[in-house]
Structure 1
Amino acid sequence: MTLPPPGTVSPLIKFGRYSFLGLGIAYGAYHQNRLSKREVKIREVEAEQQKIRDAKLAIEKQRNREEENAAIAALSKPTK
């Protein structure tokens, strides 16, 4: 079965299709730009929080090392 050749499309419909296509592309670019700016701000905040977490972790590791060394020193002293 063969299909008949397609009919001509109204110029108004063509204009509407391309208008919506252009609007969709423009909206997508706007939305992407807005989300990118938000993501940059989120990453900056996360970087600051990571620095704070790293500093706290370093302090905790140092404290654990000191406690471990004190415990080893206490265990290695001869008892009378």
Structure 2
Amino acid sequence: MSSLPAPVRVSPLIKFGRWSLLSVGILYGAFHQNRLSKKEAAIREVELKQKAIRDEKLAAEKKAAAEKEIAELEKLAK
């Protein structure tokens, strides 16, 4: 095995800087995640309201198309 040199002592200022940047990054990530999740929840609520309206329209269109098709079939049967 190769003999490794003794580890270099890292300056306390550098250690403090590393740990403070790490903690600031974690706090920023938590804040950003919280903000984005609230925004996404609001978007989901709007989409659910729009989905209900869209489903009603689709059901009405399907019903109208079915009635039209039945009327055309009755015409052809006569």
Q: Which runs of 4+ in 1 moved over 3 A?
A: none
Instruction: Supply the distance in 2 between the matched residues of 1:71 and 1:65 (Cα, whole angstroms).
Output: 10
The Cα shift of 1:10 comes to 1.3
Question: In the alignment, is residue 47 of structure 1 matched against residue 48 of structure 2?
Answer: yes
Paired residue for 1:37? 38
Instruction: Supply the distance in 2 between the matched residues of 1:74 and 1:27 (Cα, whole angstroms).
Output: 69
TM-score w.r.t. the length of structure 2 is: 0.91
Question: In the alignment, is residue 11 of structure 1 matched against residue 12 of structure 2?
Answer: yes
Residue identity opposite 1:67 in structure 2: K
The Cα shift of 1:3 comes to 3.1
Instruction: Supply the distance in 2 between the matched residues of 1:50 and 1:5 (Cα, whole angstroms).
Output: 66
TM-score w.r.t. the length of structure 1 is: 0.89
Say what the alpha-carbon RMSD is for the aligned residues. Answer: 1.0
Instruction: Supply the distance in 2 between the matched residues of 1:62 and 1:7 (Cα, whole angstroms).
Output: 78
Paired residue for 1:70? 71
Instruction: Supply the distance in 2 between the matched residues of 1:30 and 1:54 (Cα, whole angstroms).
Output: 36
The Cα shift of 1:2 comes to 3.4
